[in-house]
Structure 1
Amino acid sequence: MPTIQCKELAKVLEGLTKGHYWPVYLLFGQEYLTNRAVDALLDVLLTEEQRAFNLVVIDGDRENVADTVHFLNSFPLLTGSKVVLVKNTRVFHSRITAKDLLSEARSYYQKGSLSEALKSLQRMCASVRLGAEETGVGFLLEMDDVQWEAAFGLQRTSEDAAMIKRLVEHGLDQGMSRSIAEVSDDILDAALDRGFAGKNVLVLSANVVDRRKRLFKLLEKVGLVVDCSVGEGDSKKAKDQKQELIVQQLREQLLEAGKKLSPDAHKRFLEYAGVDLRQIGSELEKLITYVGDRKIIELGDVEAVVCSSREEAVYEVMDTLANRDFGRSCLVLEKLWDQGFFPLAVLKVIGDEVRRLLWAKGRFHQGRVTYNQFQREMHKQLDDADKEVIGQMAPYGIFKLIEYADNFTEDELVFALGRVLDTDIALKTGAPDPKGELVDLLADICLESHGKQKLPF
């Protein structure tokens, strides 16, 4: 059957309930949409009771095609079909997908998901068959620009080099130096020709695929391929497609919950919830829970739930930064970005927090004190010059600020302030990737970059 779009899947699933099924399904594209589509498919293929016994789930990073075929050639414990799901399969990776895998790594990195970003790079290495010994983090560190371009057909920017260096450090710290082995599609190719035992079904999900591969073309003939891709970039077509998906998701989620958004609430929700499909789903779920039995979600509900989340995100970025939590800082940055904060506005939040931490570090040298001690002895010492830095901050907030300052040395905070100024100049002079500039700033503040010996690249 020809490849169908994600929005066409619901109609196809109606046919599955009548007993029409394919032995293999491939669902690929945008991660959130793909996962939703896979869940919808599994709901049709298996009952809740069957899931416990007839569903085999395989992580694509540990994928062994021979094992997958073995599962497909054995009969299920309960009557019905056995379903083997390979999540994020790599059988469709090739040199062609290297560009997409690198983009995937950048996206995870900007969200603070360092382990996932590193996995994307390791998958990229495995996809061009560099050899298992060359797909660990050590090899990524040792590759120069010439080797990189020869292997992947891509130029490596200075931003990519800095990202890889950070990911290598993270991988070594977390014990993620193991390689991701190559996968061969030949065994699966032959198994599809022979057929599976009984009515067993193979479900493959993937973020990126090379449509030119013979296996992909074979699946289009003998199975069902569902394209869940979303246009990237700022083109009108990409924006229109994203908007259509957002509206579709709202409609489906509200219909499932038996709720409706009033026109004013609908408009304000889209203004504040952002454009990330996962974020939109999460915020809408909060709203649905908030209104309880009411069928109509009003403007006041959106302002009480979603708009307050926007304000909370500002305070959260300050908290995560002060705790040197790079991963959470990036997640909050992503939330602010999706909610439409301008880069310079986000930078101001970060810069103000660094200045307050530097003030606390220089103003108080007594070490750890209790809150009662602070109120009794230290709070009274604050003068007008101090209040120019901390504003109308409550006493407990100032006390916490002093505690947070202990997470940094004075040199680190001076370095961080210098990086804030560098980023300010970059943003005001037309940096091509404003979000990347902010992620790099958070990394330099949270990951103790100051004074670290630079690794060779």
Structure 2
Amino acid sequence: MAADIPPLKKMPEIPYQSLKQYIKDLSKTSFAPVYLIFGEEFLYQQAVREIVNAIIPDSAVQRHNYDVVHQKEQGDMVDIIDRMNTYSFFSEKKVIELRDATLFVSKHNQDNQVKKIRQNLDNNEPEKAAPLFLSLLSRLQLELSDLTDTTINDKLTTEDESSSDVEWVRRMAAFCQENHLSVPVAGDDAERLKSAIERGFPQNNFLIISTDTVDKRKGLYKAIKNCGTIIDCSVAKGNKKADQENQRQFLRHQANQLLSKHRKQLDAQAFELMFQMIGFDLRSFISNLEKVIDYADARENITTKEVQEVLIRTKLDPVYELTGAISERDTVKSLYHVNSLLSSGYHYLQVLTAIANQIRKLINTRGFLESSLGGNWHAGMGYDQFKNQILPLVGKYDASTLHQLQNHQLAFKGTSDTVRQDAKNSPKITTDLIIAKNPNNPYPIYQQFLRSENFTTNELFRAINQTHQADVRLKTTGQSPVRVLEELVLAICEKQP
């Protein structure tokens, strides 16, 4: 059907930032028959809209000649290719978008698809998660009956921090079985589409593939690069200084576009505060910026005041992820977060300090539990009971600790009479020995109490000694920091007989 199509010339591979110029230059060239648009979801959706509007400027025509399809099952690709090879009426331009395609998903890059499945589950929408789940199993050549613990850990865990929680797999398998859903027959849709692209489509038919995941090693990617146009909407997501600077520049550019529409400005301090509160999440950043703009109302300049009054903290601190895993004595997660932090640019002494500080916090909590005030606490206590019964006692314990430290400090200045005389005028003491530094936010304190049950006091004192030994090794022996920190994590998380 497409035999009369002239040979396709090689089209460019362009970054998202060059998209507007690419569209502007199309008056001198022609549209590519196929587009692969990948990367940050918020961006690739914008890029798709711009390409579709450039190919079919008339919105009324778009309603008839622009179709969005989701590849839910393996067999769908045959139908999609047939539709691409069907001529449109009156030789009008026709666009088919294969949205959120899973063509590039493999064991090496399945994390994004797993996250989508879990997000749908978290939203109590297993019916949306099921096609993605079954498609993933098909690509991994697994049946529902194959999902043993060994298979799940081998093929369905990811590098995400919550990957050790595989209960989602069992939930999805149960849902599929209860609803008589089966894994589609394994086929190579990527190879089918690759062959179709290389053969060519009718002249006025255009295919857009949008996805967050690509594998540049696959033949499909190379075929699109040779025969079509690839638009890269990805942004570095690491925690290294260079990555974060790129993220800031990118978010600043996107923010300025939105701000200019509303004739407003966001000062540098306000932007930095938003970045620290939200992190690099483009959709969330833009959504929250819109809230701040609305809140600012007639004020042209947006400052930290407006940001603080509107936003809540949404960025997860990776250091907290590490200290939480160590407190749970979760060896696998702890090792993962140590390596993740180091590869993201954190200095090994920063990581060691975080571990040591967390052990000290647990020691302080155990100190309260073994004091005369700690008798009312019991393992498994509910949050409300903790707030009502334990938190006031923690306040008394902290006040007693401060009083003792104050007396010890003043004792160095003179006699006990001097201590009593100067106590009222002594400066406020800063110390890490306080358990409830922010009693108005009691939930983290409650979590610390729960985690303290994972250790005995002797184990914690042994752990603080091990952190000291690790500090000496890191500073004097020249041993690998990764090895030293990994051995420390293993020693702390290992439960003593």
Which sections of structure 1, spanning at least 5 residues, go unmatched? 311-334, 364-383, 392-415, 434-457
Query: C-alpha displacement at 1:202, in angstroms?
Result: 0.2
Query: C-alpha displacement at 1:252, in angstroms?
Result: 2.6
- Alignment correspondent of 1:359: 385
- Asked whether the equivalents of residues 101 and 120 of structure 1 are also in contact (C-alpha less than 8 Å), the reply is no
- Alignment correspondent of 1:165: 167
Q: Is residue 18 of structure 2 the alignment partner of residue 8 of structure 1?
A: yes
The CA distance in 2 between the partners of 1:204 and 1:157, in whole Å, is 26
- Alignment correspondent of 2:111: 102
- Alignment correspondent of 1:70: 82
The CA distance in 2 between the partners of 1:390 and 1:79, in whole Å, is 77
* Bigger radius of gyration: 2
- Asked whether the equivalents of residues 262 and 296 of structure 1 are also in contact (C-alpha less than 8 Å), the reply is yes
The CA distance in 1 between the partners of 2:260 and 2:161, in whole Å, is 43
- Asked whether the equivalents of residues 105 and 117 of structure 1 are also in contact (C-alpha less than 8 Å), the reply is no
Query: C-alpha displacement at 1:214, in angstroms?
Result: 2.3
Query: C-alpha displacement at 1:201, in angstroms?
Result: 0.7
Query: C-alpha displacement at 1:22, in angstroms?
Result: 0.8
- Alignment correspondent of 1:28: 38
Query: C-alpha displacement at 1:275, in angstroms?
Result: 2.3
Query: C-alpha displacement at 1:385, in angstroms?
Result: 4.6
Query: C-alpha displacement at 1:215, in angstroms?
Result: 2.3
The CA distance in 2 between the partners of 1:267 and 1:417, in whole Å, is 30
Correspondence for 2:272 among 267, 273, 286: 267
Correspondence for 2:248 among 243, 252, 271: 243
Taking the TM superposition and a 5 Å limit, the aligned residue runs for 1:28-427 are 28-46=38-56, 47-62=58-73, 64-76=76-88, 80-93=92-105, 97-102=106-111, 104-105=113-114, 109=118, 112=122, 122-128=134-140, 130=141, 134-136=142-144, 138-139=145-146, 141-142=147-148, 144-145=150-151, 162-173=164-175, 177-181=181-185, 182-292=187-297, 294-306=299-311, 309-310=312-313, 335-337=314-316, 342=320, 355-357=381-383, 359=385, 385=389, 388=392, 420-421=451-452
Which sections of structure 2, spanning at least 5 residues, go unmatched? 1-10, 328-357, 359-364, 366-376, 396-446, 468-484, 487-497
The CA distance in 2 between the partners of 1:43 and 1:157, in whole Å, is 38
Q: Number of matched residues?
A: 344
The two structures have a TM-score, normalised by structure 2, of 0.56
Which amino acid in the other structure matches residue 87 of structure 1?
R
Q: 1:73 to 1:240 in 2, by over 3 A?
A: same
The CA distance in 1 between the partners of 2:389 and 2:220, in whole Å, is 69
- Asked whether the equivalents of residues 73 and 131 of structure 2 are also in contact (C-alpha less than 8 Å), the reply is no
Identity %: 21
Q: 1:107 to 1:203 in 2, by over 3 A?
A: closer
Listed one character per residue, the Cα deviations across residues 235-275 of structure 1 (whole Å, up to 9, x for unaligned) are: 34433332332222222322344432133433333332332
- Asked whether the equivalents of residues 93 and 204 of structure 2 are also in contact (C-alpha less than 8 Å), the reply is yes
Q: 1:271 to 1:211 in 2, by over 3 A?
A: closer
Q: CA RMSD in A?
A: 4.6
- Alignment correspondent of 1:406: none
Q: 1:78 to 1:15 in 2, by over 3 A?
A: farther
Query: C-alpha displacement at 1:288, in angstroms?
Result: 2.3
| Paired residue secondary structure (2:259) | helix
| Paired residue secondary structure (2:38) | strand
The CA distance in 1 between the partners of 2:169 and 2:157, in whole Å, is 18
Which amino acid in the other structure matches residue 34 of structure 2?
V
- Asked whether the equivalents of residues 35 and 207 of structure 2 are also in contact (C-alpha less than 8 Å), the reply is yes
Query: C-alpha displacement at 1:68, in angstroms?
Result: 1.0
The CA distance in 2 between the partners of 1:305 and 1:161, in whole Å, is 33
The CA distance in 2 between the partners of 1:241 and 1:118, in whole Å, is 36
Query: C-alpha displacement at 1:44, in angstroms?
Result: 2.4
The CA distance in 2 between the partners of 1:125 and 1:168, in whole Å, is 13
The CA distance in 2 between the partners of 1:204 and 1:165, in whole Å, is 32
Query: C-alpha displacement at 1:5, in angstroms?
Result: 1.7
The CA distance in 1 between the partners of 2:116 and 2:453, in whole Å, is 23
Listed one character per residue, the Cα deviations across residues 15-59 of structure 1 (whole Å, up to 9, x for unaligned) are: 346773111100112333322322332232333222321111111
Listed one character per residue, the Cα deviations across residues 418-450 of structure 1 (whole Å, up to 9, x for unaligned) are: 9644689999999x99xxxxxxxxxxxxxxxxx
- Asked whether the equivalents of residues 148 and 155 of structure 1 are also in contact (C-alpha less than 8 Å), the reply is yes
Listed one character per residue, the Cα deviations across residues 324-348 of structure 1 (whole Å, up to 9, x for unaligned) are: xxxxxxxxxxx2527x994579999
The CA distance in 2 between the partners of 1:304 and 1:188, in whole Å, is 51
The CA distance in 1 between the partners of 2:297 and 2:270, in whole Å, is 16
The CA distance in 1 between the partners of 2:225 and 2:382, in whole Å, is 59
The CA distance in 2 between the partners of 1:148 and 1:76, in whole Å, is 48
- Asked whether the equivalents of residues 118 and 167 of structure 1 are also in contact (C-alpha less than 8 Å), the reply is no
Query: C-alpha displacement at 1:69, in angstroms?
Result: 1.6
Which amino acid in the other structure matches residue 263 of structure 1?
A
The CA distance in 1 between the partners of 2:289 and 2:381, in whole Å, is 36
Which amino acid in the other structure matches residue 166 of structure 2?
I
Give the structure with the higher percent helix: 1
The CA distance in 1 between the partners of 2:100 and 2:276, in whole Å, is 32
The CA distance in 1 between the partners of 2:104 and 2:31, in whole Å, is 23
Query: C-alpha displacement at 1:90, in angstroms?
Result: 2.9
Q: 1:9 to 1:79 in 2, by over 3 A?
A: same
Q: 1:277 to 1:156 in 2, by over 3 A?
A: closer
The CA distance in 1 between the partners of 2:296 and 2:261, in whole Å, is 15
